[in-house]
Chains A and B, each alone.
Chain A
Amino acid sequence: MMAIRRNLLISISIIALLLAACGAPQSQTPTAAPAPTSAPTSAPAPTTAPSGAVVSATPGLNIDMILLPKFLGIAVFDQAHEGAKEAHAELRNQGKLIFTGPTAENSVAGQIETLTNAATQGVKAVMLSNNAGDQIAAAAQAAQAAGVTVVTWDSPIPSAQGETVFVAQVDFNETGRVMADMALSILGPEGGEFAILSASPDAANQNAWIAAMKEVLKEPKYANLKLVDIVYGNDQSEESYKQALALVDKHPNLKLIMAPTTVGIAAAAKAMTDEGLCDRVKVSGLGLPAEMASYTLSGCAPQFALWSFKDLGYLTYHLTYLIASGALKGVEGERFTAGRMGTYTIEKDPTRPKGLRVLMGPFTVYTAENVNK
């Protein structure tokens, strides 16, 4: 039953993607000016590729690539690595796939260091889940100037300077809507007060999602949902746990905690369960099924959403391989196949004025019925 519904969801979104893919190049062909960001190829970008031509990869090339997560020791990044490894084997890349990352407390400086040294090492491409915001832009631009392809995934460079394309796990505006929808479905039409427990105040993707959610909340449909507070647990269990409890103390009428981070949602659910508050305050947001299953079944976190990080790693690898090998230029309107995942298009990123993205999608919304699948 559920499987059918999910498949339907996937096929609908694929159709939507295809439609978008067909639409985009036609409407955008006039703007052929190369992006002002220093793209690796200084040649005028020939965007005259016939619309509909789908590029696919030539296997067996020799391209050294680095997969650079925010930091090591987090399950989702390892899942992305699994996906990248799958693609690496599939494309029979003669080069190396290097999975390396900084420590959590040295994330910003460490990412900049890896990116800077990538050029020195002669690595061809870096796949970056950016944790440094725009602070990494200069290093990324320098790497590009030295001939390194920089593709971001999971979290982009906000100004888009220094990155060729961003592989978006989901549409960032869509994330806001999905969170609002989950809140509405948990709280019901009468609504109520809810609060957001985010990662750090500097996390670019979380901030974008929260902004998108605030936009969505302005619609009359969500008029009864009242966002009363935003707090930050810094993606640490203990801090998130404390913040979740403080939210309950601070807002006596709070009915829901929305945590758009896997660490935050698990900590909040544990805190509510421990304090016996689940009847009063529900938890939702973005979470890993393995970490959330018991809370979903107990009704503490009736709904949460996530995407497949493995697929994200797989798709990112394919795209990066294509750009680094020169098969794709990394400009708007280009289409390509990413192995088992099908065809994708490089398009304008609606959430960043200068950015390009490839949209993976869709969300999987987990409930008691599908969480243990």
Chain B
Amino acid sequence: MGANLRRLVSWEGFLLGILVLVIIVNTSRAPAYLSLTNQINLFQLSIEKIIVALVMTFVIINGEIDLSVASVMGLAACMIAVLFESGVPLPLAILAALIAGVCCGAFNGLWVAYVGLPSLAVTLAGMIGYRGVARILIEDRSIGGFPAWFTALGQQPLLGPFPLSLILFAVLFALAIIILQFSGIGRIIYVIGNNAAVARYSGIDTPRLKLGVFVASGLIAAMAGVLLAARLGAVRGNTAEGFELDIITMVLLGGVSIFGGVGNLVGVGLAILVILNLRNGMSLLNVTGNVQTGVIGVLLILSVLLPNLVQMARERLQRRTTQRKEVQVETETSASS
């Protein structure tokens, strides 16, 4: 446990170090980086992804994965657009989109938790299928022209310089930390992720909790989809396509183990900051999109590889010193006898 804790601390220390480095480089290279608008833009441009990353942390720590989140986002966005176009009042349309998200999550969860299918397979099917439902709804159209209050919520500042989605993210982040790190439910999520068998034997209703996590994932993804529709002001069939990999990258960079049970939201929060600042800095310096993604790929690998290499070197060193000690002890005892 102590070693685990130290490892986590060192991981976060590592991320913090990178973050500081990125901020220093950005500040020195891109003069506009520190401006308030840029700092808000930096979050605003990826706000939906980082909101979903929070709930993805729950899913992965629970030992599962949800590849369908981006398609749920797209489905939710298409739903409000299509319902709104057909004359349904927008608040009602938003409600329907959120319910759709819950249904998608529950559908995933039922197969995973109660039938026992691997979540990778189920949510892969969900990723294709939910996107397909979105396409059925919207076909090849692009729907926009939402009421001003809706787009203003997505685009304009609500409180001081902060737009609604950013405030929402902050609230959700605090809530997620409380639930995952300080509540009984959070502890159970870790236990299940660490060892599902142990969880079952200790009387935890594992399926119900897994279902709950997937429902939450669907709901939050749908909410993020609504926010995305508000920010963009128009929706198409491919809205939010491909976001899942970015979201999973954030969570994994945050030190969450893909095998479940390990990681925390502080790490994920730091990873989000690192990725957003790095991307923003590179974008301000006109680095092309594929190089940006490549750099983040390198960072993702190095962030795990470097600590591992250090640890391996340390282990080898330790082994050698203990060996030497043993030899010493041996020679001493042989000398004394």
> Interface on A for B, CB 8 Å cutoff?
66, 71-73, 98, 100-103, 105-106, 108-110, 112-114, 116-117, 120-122, 132-138, 142, 158-159, 200-202, 204, 207
| B113 proximity list for chain A (CB < 8 A) | none
On whether the beta carbons of A135 and B236 are closer than 8 Å, the reply is yes
| A207 proximity list for chain B (CB < 8 A) | 140
Tell me if B286 is interfacial: C-beta within 8 Å of chain A.
yes
Task: Select which of B135, B139, B284 is within 8 A of A117 by beta carbon.
Answer: B284
On whether the beta carbons of A201 and B233 are closer than 8 Å, the reply is no
| B280 proximity list for chain A (CB < 8 A) | 117
Tell me if B25 is interfacial: C-beta within 8 Å of chain A.
no
A103-B289, A112-B45, A114-B283 are contacts. A202–B140 as well, Cβ < 8 Å? yes
Q: Which B residue's beta carbon lies closest to that of A66? A: B286
Shortest Cβ distance from B56 into chain A, in angstroms?
Answer: 17
5 examples of A-B residue contacts, CB within 8 angstroms: A105-B241, A117-B280, A117-B283, A135-B142, A135-B233
Shortest Cβ distance from B224 into chain A, in angstroms?
Answer: 13
Interface code B289-300, partner A: CB below 8 Å = 1, 0 otherwise? 110010000000
Shortest Cβ distance from B159 into chain A, in angstroms?
Answer: 19
| B288 proximity list for chain A (CB < 8 A) | 72, 100-102
Tell me if B318 is interfacial: C-beta within 8 Å of chain A.
no
On whether the beta carbons of B32 and A200 are closer than 8 Å, the reply is no
| A132 proximity list for chain B (CB < 8 A) | 232
Q: Which A residue's beta carbon lies closest to that of B229? A: A135
On whether the beta carbons of A201 and B32 are closer than 8 Å, the reply is no
On whether the beta carbons of B236 and A106 are closer than 8 Å, the reply is no
On whether the beta carbons of B142 and A133 are closer than 8 Å, the reply is yes
Tell me if B212 is interfacial: C-beta within 8 Å of chain A.
no
How many chain B residues sit at the interface, stated as a range, is 35 or more
Task: Select which of B30, B139, B151, B287 is within 8 A of A138 by beta carbon.
Answer: B151
Task: Select which of B30, B41, B246, B293 is within 8 A of A116 by beta carbon.
Answer: B41
| B246 proximity list for chain A (CB < 8 A) | 106
| B155 proximity list for chain A (CB < 8 A) | 138, 142
| B46 proximity list for chain A (CB < 8 A) | 109
- Bound-complex Cα distance A101 to B303 (A): 27
Listed from nearest, the 3 A-B pairs whose CB atoms lie closest are A134-B234, A102-B289, A201-B140
On whether the beta carbons of A72 and B284 are closer than 8 Å, the reply is no
Tell me if B37 is interfacial: C-beta within 8 Å of chain A.
yes
| A114 proximity list for chain B (CB < 8 A) | 283
| A116 proximity list for chain B (CB < 8 A) | 41, 45
- Bound-complex Cα distance A133 to B235 (A): 9
- Bound-complex Cα distance A236 to B289 (A): 19
| A106 proximity list for chain B (CB < 8 A) | 242, 246, 289, 293
Tell me if B194 is interfacial: C-beta within 8 Å of chain A.
no
A117-B38, A142-B155 known; 4 new pairs, CB 8 Å cut-off, are A108-B239, A113-B45, A134-B232, A134-B234
| A142 proximity list for chain B (CB < 8 A) | 155
Tell me if B35 is interfacial: C-beta within 8 Å of chain A.
yes
On whether the beta carbons of A120 and B32 are closer than 8 Å, the reply is yes
Tell me if B144 is interfacial: C-beta within 8 Å of chain A.
yes
Task: Select which of B45, B139, B237, B290 is within 8 A of A109 by beta carbon.
Answer: B45
Q: Which residue, B30, B235, B279, B288, has most C-beta atoms of chain A within 10 A?
A: B288
Shortest Cβ distance from A107 into chain B, in angstroms?
Answer: 8
- Bound-complex Cα distance A112 to B233 (A): 12
Tell me if B238 is interfacial: C-beta within 8 Å of chain A.
yes
A120-B32, A201-B135 are contacts. A133–B236 as well, Cβ < 8 Å? yes
Which residues in window 11-48 of B have CB below 8 A to A?
Answer: 30, 32, 35, 37-38, 41, 45-46
Q: Which B residue's beta carbon lies closest to that of A96? A: B286
Tell me if B231 is interfacial: C-beta within 8 Å of chain A.
yes
